[in-house]
Amino acid sequence: MSYYTKHVFICTHQRDDGKECCNDKKSSEIFDYAKKKCISMKIQKKGGMRVNKAGCLDRCTEGPVLVIYPDNIWYKYESKDDIDEIISSHIVNDKIVQRLKI
């Protein structure tokens, strides 16, 4: 058994060269929100899932982005509502959110 059933990586990379990046679109705030929400739902735990920060995932122009492993599903999000939908649909119920998938 894997240590986590799902592992969510949210890009929080900030570029120094002025090129577009996920953190320009408030991904650090979304990371904090997603992590706190999953902890409060008691789903972030061994045998459950985990939310982690990621450096550049090299999809900056599609961002902000996150990826869920081992599913290898990539999402673009714009709001906390999108994150709520990803958590409730994909993380909790294993249903991919097609409208946010990239």
pLDDT recorded at residue 16: 87
The dotted CATH code for 6-100 is: 3.40.30.10
Domain ranges of the chain: 6-100
Three-state secondary structure readout of the chain:
CCCCCEEEEEECCCCCCCCCCHHHHCHHHHHHHHHHHHHHCCCECCCCEEEEEECCCCCHHHCCEEEEECCCEEEECCCHHHHHHHHHHHHHHCCCCHHHEC
Q: What is the pTM of this model?
A: 0.93
Residues 6+ apart with CB under 8 A from 39: none
- pLDDT per position as a tens digit, 48-77: 999 999 999 999 889 899 999 999 999 999
Summary mean pLDDT of the chain: 94
If pLDDT is split at 50, 70 and 90, which confidence band does 18 have?
Answer: confident
